[in-house]
Structure 1
Amino acid sequence: MKVCVGSKNPVKINAVRRAFEDYFGKFELSYSEVESGVAAMPMSAEETVAGAKNRALRALEKFKGYDYAVGAEGGVEKTQFGMMVCNYVVIMDKYGKVGVGGGTEFIIPKYMEARLAKGEELSEIIDELMGIEGTKYSGGAIGALTKGMVGRDETFRIATHFALIPFVNAELFRK
């Protein structure tokens, strides 16, 4: 089996690798940076899902003949409780079947909202405020805000498991 990921981010690649291994064991994994077609910091769940879908589509176009393509995207969305971080994974197979999964969500401090609205990425804000570097490529905002108890890779791994549901339960989705 061949799987491609529309990103060079090691957090996303490792999350996809781990989730697919859970179901399928060994497989070939390739990855490449592709355009998400959305803002660097998606500001809604819809925009975040669109970015993940675009990444999966572009990966499938780039890696002809692969069985699955995966797009993963992180963003934020405004809720009744405040701005929350969200992440989505879209998986497409070579036949056009699609699976979508969302990860865990959490509230960010209110004062970060204005900076996000100005176009800053959450990882840049977290890096600056918490005195760390490379948040996006390591534990993510969730890692920093939970003091390392939960990492970004886990949220994308969970979302990948959720996106795999239609593929690992194909018989249920044919009814």
Structure 2
Amino acid sequence: MKIIVASKNPVKINSTQNGFSQVFPEVSLEFIGYSAPSGVSDQPMTNEETLQGAKNRAKHIKNEYPGASFWVGIEGGIEDTEDGMEAFAWVVILSNDQTGHSRTSSFFLPPKVRELVLKGVELGHANDQVFEEHNSKQKGGAVSSLTNGLLGRTEYYEQAVILALIPFVNKELY
């Protein structure tokens, strides 16, 4: 089974690989990552924009690289609410005849990170500045920084990948 991930980011590829391997443990799986445009802001600022980015990435790679079994788009985003700046991601999985999607759990960013993001700094760069890290979005991300490494970005996205696969393993219900 060939799965194409709409990113070359190792976090997104690994979370997809981990999720699919758990859902399809008896199947031989091949994963390929390709860069794909999101068609939204570099830093999606709403739930809707983040979901649209994941959809756009999945649709783009499906059109560009036909012949796979699944195409996966993952988009991280934020939304500024009255309670603070919430961080999350959307996962969209396409096959030739179905779509599955799921959102990760969410968490709130510290005020210093929020302040930088509101000034136009992408979350990954804001996180690097506040936590004195380098390229954290291709590693543990803000979620790892804030949980002292208990939860990394790969594990964080993995659960949403599994949940987005629900329609594919329960075809009779969807």
TM (normalized to structure 1)?
0.94
Q: Deviations over 1:29-50 (max 9, x none)?
A: 1110010111111001111101
Looking at structure 2, the residues matched to 39 and 46 of structure 1 have their Cα atoms a distance apart, in angstroms, of 12
Equivalent residue pairs, number: 172
Cα distance in 2 for residues equivalent to 1:170 and 1:79: 36
Which residue of structure 2 lines up, in the alignment, with residue 168 of structure 1?
169
The answer to whether the 8 A contact 1:87-1:155 is kept is no
Q: How does 1:78-157 map to 2 (within 5 A)?
A: 78-95=80-97, 97-157=98-158
Opposite residue 68 of structure 1, the aligned amino acid is: F
In 1, Cα distance between the equivalents of 2:143 and 2:109?
9
Provide structure 1 residue ranges, at least 5 long, that are not aligned to the other structure: none
Q: Is the 8 A contact 2:70 2:94 kept in 1?
A: yes
The AA in structure 1 aligned to 2:41 is: A
The corresponding residue for 1:40 is 42
Partner Cα distance (1:111, 1:31) in 2: 33
CA contact (8 A) 1:139 1:153 kept: yes
Give 1:104's aligned amino acid. S
- Runs of 4+ deviating beyond 3 Å: none
The corresponding residue for 1:13 is 13
TM-score, normalised to structure 2, is 0.94
Q: Percent identity?
A: 40
How far off its partner does 1:118 sit?
2.6
RMSD: 1.1
Q: Which residue of 1 aligns with 2:60?
A: 58
2:23–2:162 CA contact under 8 A, matched in 1: no
